[in-house]
Amino acid sequence: MPAITQFVDVSFIDGGGMKVSGLYGFLRRTFGLLATAAIFVVVASAFVAPFAGNARAAAVWSVEVDNNAFSPSTLMGVQVGDTVTWYNNDTVSHTVTSYPPGSVPLDSPTLSPGETWSYTFTSDGTYEYYCTIHTTMRGTVVVGGVIPEFSSSLFVVASMLVLIVGLIALRRRR
Ligand SMILES: [Cu+2]
């Protein structure tokens, strides 16, 4: 009767109880143990990371208004619940107003030099805005999209695949 290890290669994880001796045997057993530990940690992180992302504290972002321009002109990485604060560092007044005219939700009062205005975003989307005084001044806030924590868990999963493929390649070389 064929052993189950023919189908599930246990030796990859625990050395398979094969009688290997000397430095090679030591390395092989050590690699098996390390691989087991690494895979466990990596899989656990991959599951935990997205929840850590959900628990992320609300952030405050800054957009500088100077020289008749919003900077950055496109602000990315904002998540629902985050607040964006516009700082008028210019020598003239500006507004932060959703574009096209009449759209929502951005609708600041006129900001004199030195004044700030904040808005907390409540839903994902791409928010274009402009200054009603200098109508060619445009800006964009992108809310939602790729969550940094999620992409780091994708990185972890990719690393895990590289590790597994690497270990399989190592085994096949002998
Ligand atoms: Cu302006």
Q: What is the pLDDT of residues 93-148, one digit of tens each?
A: 999 999 999 999 999 999 999 999 999 999 999 999 999 999 999 999 999 976 55
- Cα of 102 from ligand 1 centre, angstroms: 17
Q: Is-contact 84 61, C-beta < 8 A?
A: yes
78 vs 22, residue with greater confidence: 78
Q: Which two tokens stand for residue 79?
A: 């998540």
Question: What backbone torsions phi and psi does residue 96 show, to the nearest 5 degrees?
Answer: -120, 105
Note the pLDDT of residue 158: 81
- Cα of 129 from ligand 1 centre, angstroms: 11
Please state, rounded to an integer, the average pLDDT across all residues of the chain.
81
CA separation, residue 148 to residues 56, 77, 116, 172 (Å) = 10, 8, 28, 36
Strand pairing partners for 75? 141
Does pLDDT of 10 surpass 50?
A: no
- Cα of 72 from ligand 1 centre, angstroms: 15
CA 127/CA 80 separation, integer angstroms: 12
Q: Which two tokens stand for residue 24?
A: 């090679």
Q: Which two tokens stand for residue 9?
A: 């290669």
Q: What is the per-residue burial (b if ≥16 Cβ within 10 Å, else e) of 103-140?
A: eeebebeebeeebebebebeeeeebbbbbbeeeebebe
> Tens of pLDDT along 144-168?
976 555 566 777 778 888 888 888 8
Note the pLDDT of residue 140: 98
> Lowest-confidence range among 1-5, 33-37, 40-44, 101-105?
1-5
Q: How many C-alpha atoms does 85 have within 13 Å on its Cβ side?
A: 9
Q: Which two tokens stand for residue 158?
A: 């990719």
| Confidence grade of residue 15 (pLDDT, cut at 50, 70, 90) | low
- Cα of 105 from ligand 1 centre, angstroms: 18
Q: What is the mean pLDDT of residues 49-69?
A: 83
Does pLDDT of 3 surpass 70?
A: no
140 vs 27, residue with greater confidence: 140
